[in-house]
Each structure stands twice: as structure tokens, then as C-alpha cells.
Structure 1
């Protein structure tokens, strides 16, 4: 897709740049406990400020449902942002009206301000014209650096892009380029690794991927549903038996598209779902009736590693087993580390994100070596599902 980036912005002196960012960070007692999302937007803020822009940040926090909720104020986040940015960040107690305008009007070239939670107004999520107009009146240019919110047609993600010259920030640009390299114009063969608990939450994802990738590894609890659909007894494993027809349909669609489906051939089973529970490795044809599959076995790991070796592009979403508890993290760790090694060597373009994926890759110590790791969650998944993202579409040049 074609879109304007910060490269298309030169002299910004005195220009008010409304910049949509994702500052929906985890908090505990008014303290930010994970600053990843803050760190992701720093390059865009610094670049805009460095070009003399008056940077006006827009963000949401939580789900206040159109009401001002004290616990969902961005005031504590403004303080944390200032610390990470290394410069003052002015804060406005509203994102429209006199409170917002007085703060914006007081900005000098290169100054930064954060406006209060956009979701304190019902017009934000409804993308109401009057609300979007009110916010737009505070700026001259719009920059969207919040891919994570781009799947929502809200005033601050879609409406503003229709009212002001619109550009992608550096985080948005990196995300779009990474996803484009993964699915739109990938170097083949393309491998997708999809794990997680339930097929029901990823039907659209699987149906889209089998049409676009060359190999698809299915792991986690999802794999049990596919194994059951193929006539395997998965014992007491997490399994959506009522989706057998859906699984069969996906398998047939993959065959018709020439996509190789890779399912476990062996499994690590236990009678209890707890760390270091007594376990054994068995063939998927011999899962005990009183046991549950908690990870894939060494033969399956070898198959996944071999697929990674064949691939030139990898898309990863979801763990292969119950990675949160040892020793059922072995498959996820082994596969992630191998993909990281291949990526570091320049032999693989690897893009990962969504759900527990980031946590799983961090657990494996592999995240930093992946080509790109998205923290976008829902937007990342909807992109993989082939859905239109309003906040992205609105940026198209």
C-alpha cells in the first residue's frame, strides 16, 4: 500500500501536529509497569519535535465508555512519558475545548503535550463528526503512530485522517512494512506458526493463511481439535470437538491451495496442569484417555525446525504448548530460538505478534532477534485475517 510517512514532512516549525499514539500501558498504583508502548513511540515524537513541530499527542486508556473516569486519566502516563522522553510533556485535562486549546496554544516549537483520554468522550468511539472536528481544530497535520488501534474506526484513528493531511509515524510505518513483507509481498517459501488455545478464536485467521502461505504449523490447544477431526483420541486435552467440521474444512482448503499443514506427531502429556507435573512423551496415536496434551514432543519439534529451515519468511502467532509452565515450554522455546538464529543470520524474515506471542518469545529470549515483533494485538490479528483496518486505509495516499 502507498502512504505518506514522516519523510514527506520537512519544515514543521510552528506547525501543530496531532499525533495518535498508543499509551494504553499497564499500571499499578499510578506507576507504569511496562513501558514498551511508550518506548515504541519515542522515535516519532523526537523526530517531529526535532523538526520544530508542536507535538500534540492523542491517546486512549482503558474503556471509560464515554465518561471521565479518574482511574483512567492519562495524567500519570504523561509523567512517565516525560521521564522516558527526557523533556517536559505538558498535559491537558481534556482533549477538546478550552482546556485542550489553552495547552496547545502555549506550546513553542519543539514542545510536546499530551491531551486527556480521547475515550472520555462518546464521540471518539462513535467517530462522530462534531467530535472529530473539535479535535482536528487543534492541529494542522495528523500523524498516526498507533497501529494497535488502527482496526477501530474511531475519531482519533480514522476521522482525523479525513480532515487533516495524514502521515504514518515511524512505528506505524515499521509495522506496515513488516506486515507487507510477511504476507503482501513475501519472499517464499512462507511459513506460518499458529498456536493458542482455541480454533474458534482463529477461524478467520486460519482460513486466510492457508490461501497465502506455503506451510502452516498448528500448535497449542488448537492442534488437538485438528487431531480429533482426523480421528485421533486426545484424551482429556483441551479440544473443541464441535469444530471438527470446521477443522476438516480448513484442512481441505489448505490442500486445495497447496499449503502444507504441519500437525504434531508426538506429544508431551500429563494428568495435571501444573509446573513440573509428571509427564511422558507419546505418539499422537497413543494419548492416554486420562491424560492431556500440554506440549508437542521432540519429533514434532524437529519437524517445525525443519520447516523453519526451509522458509524464507515466517509469520508467528501463538505458542506451541503451555509455555507458561515448565517443562511444557520446550517446543515453543526451541522453535522460537531456532527462528531467532535464522533471522539473526539473515536467512529468515520473521514477523510475530498477537495474544501470548510476545510473552512466549520473551520467555524464550528470542524476541529481539526476530525481524519484527508487533505489540498490536487485535490489529495484528485482523491484518493476518485479511480484514480492512480503517485507521490504515485512511492513510493511503
Structure 2
């Protein structure tokens, strides 16, 4: 159940890397992040890309804005927290597509980190719209999926965008989760106890 390619297999020096992360974190009424576990989980992949001379362009959904811009569901607080955790400047784009975003992406240099705004501010994200996927893909040279918690979704920034890259790869979090899942399904240690939980019955 391992991904065909890992971020380790990519030649990323000098390349812009579209990294799909899962930054769908909980906020309180003051828009303060109450649990940054998902952000921390993405750090090994982001830092590896930087160390190898790549330029990470991070994309994530956040909440359910239903295709409209909702300031309460902006990834701006995430950009701030990511900056704190990495002790590294994070450039925050006010959208995930468009000419302004393209200009920012094209101007990135080694050492830069770019976080795009909430992909679900566009209805095309959940519809897995081909044109939207293509526009997201145009920002980068390579694609890495490190959003295990969203990997089951056939959305533009998860599934659609991957078709525009020759060698889509998995990040370290994806690799770790697939390893655990694979071991649990193919060679579980016994006696075995399975605890299943979550907030959404549908998934």
C-alpha cells in the first residue's frame, strides 16, 4: 500500500513543489488555532523540500465555505502559526489561483515558502474542475501529496491536479500513514483491538 513515489525520489533542487497539505485545523471564536497537530505533521515534508533546494507551494482546504470567500475560514491564521513553528517567513497569497498568485509563484526563490488561500473558496475545488486543476498545477513543477486525511477526496487540489504532473509523489506523512495502514491490514499484531472514531460518519 505504499505510494509509488516518495518525495525522496524527486529531484527538487530549484523546483517549485505543489505540496497538498491538510491544514483543516480547529479555531475558536477569536480565530485562534486550538490544535496545531495537522500543521506540525506537515513540517517534515516542508522542511525536507527546503533543505533540498525546493520551493514549497502549500495548498489546503479549510472548513466548508461552499465556494464563497469567508474571512472566518481564511488560512491566514495557519500561515502565522506555520511561521512560528518553522521560525521561517511564510508568504501568504490571498487566493489560490489568478494572475496575482501566478506572479507571486513565478517570483519565488529558494528559501521561500508560499501558502495559498483556502482552495474551497472556489466551487471548482470540490467539483474537481479540470480547468481549476490545471490552473493550480501551473504554479509548480512537481506535485507532492502529504494530505492523508484528504486523500480520499476527488477534489481538484488532491486528485485533479496530480494528472498534470509526470511523477506525483507522496510526502512523509502520507508515507507514514500508508505504512501503518498497510501493516494493520496485511500483518496485524494479535491480539487485535480496533478503535474507530471521528466527527463525520460519512468518512
TM-score class normalised by the smaller sequence: over 0.9
- Which residue pairs with 1:9 in the alignment? 10
- Which residue pairs with 2:47 in the alignment? 46
Q: TM-score, normalised by structure 2?
A: 0.93
CA distance in 2, matches of 1:112, 1:131: 22
CA distance in 2, matches of 1:31, 1:151: 28
Structure 1 residue 80: Cα displacement: 0.8
SS of equivalent to 1:18? strand
Structure with higher Rg: it is 1
Structure 1 residue 13: Cα displacement: 2.2
- Which residue pairs with 2:147 in the alignment? 146
SS of equivalent to 1:55? strand
SS of equivalent to 1:3? coil
Structure 1 residue 171: Cα displacement: 0.5
Q: How does 1:45-124 map to 2 (within 5 A)?
A: 45-124=46-125
Q: Which structure 1 segments of 5+ residues have no match?
A: 194-315, 318-353, 357-376, 383-397
Q: How does 1:1-397 map to 2 (within 5 A)?
A: 1=1, 2-10=3-11, 12-28=12-28, 29-164=30-165, 165-183=167-185, 185-189=186-190, 191-193=192-194, 316-317=195-196, 354-355=197-198
Deviations 1:39-61 (A, max 9, x none): 00000000001111111000111
CA distance in 2, matches of 1:57, 1:88: 13
- Which residue pairs with 1:270 in the alignment? none
Relative distance call for 1:52 and 1:119 in structure 2 (3 A) is same
Structure 1 residue 17: Cα displacement: 0.3
CA distance in 1, matches of 2:9, 2:135: 26
- Which residue pairs with 1:220 in the alignment? none
Q: Which runs of 4+ in 1 moved over 2 A?
A: 187-190
Deviations 1:145-199 (A, max 9, x none): 001111110001101111112100000110001000001x214536233xxxxxx
SS of equivalent to 1:32? coil
Structure 1 residue 107: Cα displacement: 1.4
- Which residue pairs with 1:258 in the alignment? none
Q: Which structure 2 segments of 5+ residues have no match?
A: none
Root-mean-square deviation (CA), in Å?
Answer: 1.7
Bigger RCO (CA 8 Å, 6+ sep): 2
Structure 1 residue 99: Cα displacement: 2.2
CA distance in 2, matches of 1:119, 1:17: 20
